[in-house]
Amino acid sequence: MGELIKISNLSKSFGDIKVLHSLDMQVESGEVVAIIGASGSGKSTLVRCIAGLEPVSGGEILLDGVPVVNTASTNGKVGMVFQNFNLFPHYTVGQNISMPLRTILKMKKELAAQKAKDLLNKVHILDKFEQYPNSLSGGQKQRLAIARALAMEPEIIIFDEPTSSLDPELAHEVFETIKDLAKEGQTMLIVTHQINAVRRFASRIVFLNKGKIEAQGTPDYIFNQIDNHDLKQFLRQVNFEDI
């Protein structure tokens, strides 16, 4: 499988504050990469740069060989699922999926509605088709956001702490959906603190520490083999919070 994302020597600063320090990273298509790290370590900044939402300060991000400079340059290849959902409140659940298809891809109304139904069925909220997002639970909102991202058939979906604002049971629903996608071979990049949830299906875990990749490898390597002081301390801390 080919290299979908190639990041070389990436740096990012906000004013005088250096957030990412000459970072190198690759994502192959079909991989599910989890990004973990303490709050403020630069996880959001990294994925937002990959998405084109933040301009980079140095280095380069290639998506399918094309440099990412803004959201337009990702050309619909990157989908994003946000912590606070960012659903469109003025559209019904069905329209949240069908309207982007109609507006951007000029898809026919019936076709777009059918695609919306298929995707809502896939994330188990087809019965909410006619309702507005404000009537959904947090978990349902996030599953709708995932379905909306899937509709554009992106090559990679980025999740930035998709379950951080959810209760544990609702977070579980969302991770079940993400796990289903992993089984289908969807390439994903998942920033999360719920490492116990992602270790079951992540192909690789990247530990970000103070804007640098401190360690990376298979879940087994990260959890059982590697001996890294900062990582061990971080894992202890999150495991404690997870309970």
Ligand X SMILES: Nc1ncnc2c1ncn2[C@@H]1O[C@H](COP(=O)(O)OP(=O)(O)O)[C@@H](O)[C@H]1O
List residues binding other proteins (CB under 8 A): 51-53, 71-72, 74-76, 78-80, 82, 84, 86-91, 99-100, 103-104, 132-134, 148-149, 152
Residue 44 contacts Mg ion per CB under 5 A? yes
Pairwise CA distance, residues 231 & 208, whole Å: 9
Q: How far apart are CB 90 and other proteins at their closest, in Å?
A: 5
- 160 vs 173, which CB is nearer to other proteins? 160
What is the DSSP track for 129-143? TTS-GGGS-HHHHHH
Stretch that binds ligand X, among 35-43, 60-68, 103-111, 132-140 (CB under 6 A): 35-43
Pairwise CA distance, residues 235 & 96, whole Å: 37
- 19 vs 181, which CB is nearer to ligand X? 19
DSSP 54: S
Q: How far apart are CB 107 and other proteins at their closest, in Å?
A: 12
- 85 vs 207, which CB is nearer to ligand X? 207
Cα→Cα distances 162→25, 131, 139, Å: 22, 22, 10
Residue 55 contacts ligand X per CB under 6 A? no
Question: Do 59 and 23 form a contact (C-beta atoms < 8 A)?
Answer: yes
Tokens 């270790």 sit at which residue?
A: 199
Q: With CB cut-offs between 5 and 8 Å by kind, which of Mg ion, ligand X, other proteins, none does residue 71 bind?
A: other proteins
How many CB atoms within 10 Å of residue 181?
18
Q: With CB cut-offs between 5 and 8 Å by kind, which of ligand X, other proteins, Mg ion, none does residue 37 bind?
A: ligand X
Residue 40 contacts ligand X per CB under 6 A? yes
Residue 133 contacts ligand X per CB under 6 A? no
Q: With CB cut-offs between 5 and 8 Å by kind, which of other proteins, Mg ion, ligand X, none does residue 148 bind?
A: other proteins
Pairwise CA distance, residues 155 & 188, whole Å: 9
CA nearest to 80, candidates 40, 49, 38, 115:
49
Q: How far apart are CB 45 and ligand X at their closest, in Å?
A: 3
Residue 43 contacts ligand X per CB under 6 A? yes
Tokens 């949830």 sit at which residue?
A: 197
Residue 225 contacts ligand X per CB under 6 A? no
Residues 168, 174, 180, 184: is their CA dihedral positive or negative?
Answer: negative
| SS3 category, 235 | helix
> Where along the sequence are the contacts to Mg ion (CB under 5 A)?
44
> Where along the sequence are the contacts to ligand X (CB under 6 A)?
14, 17, 19, 37, 39-45
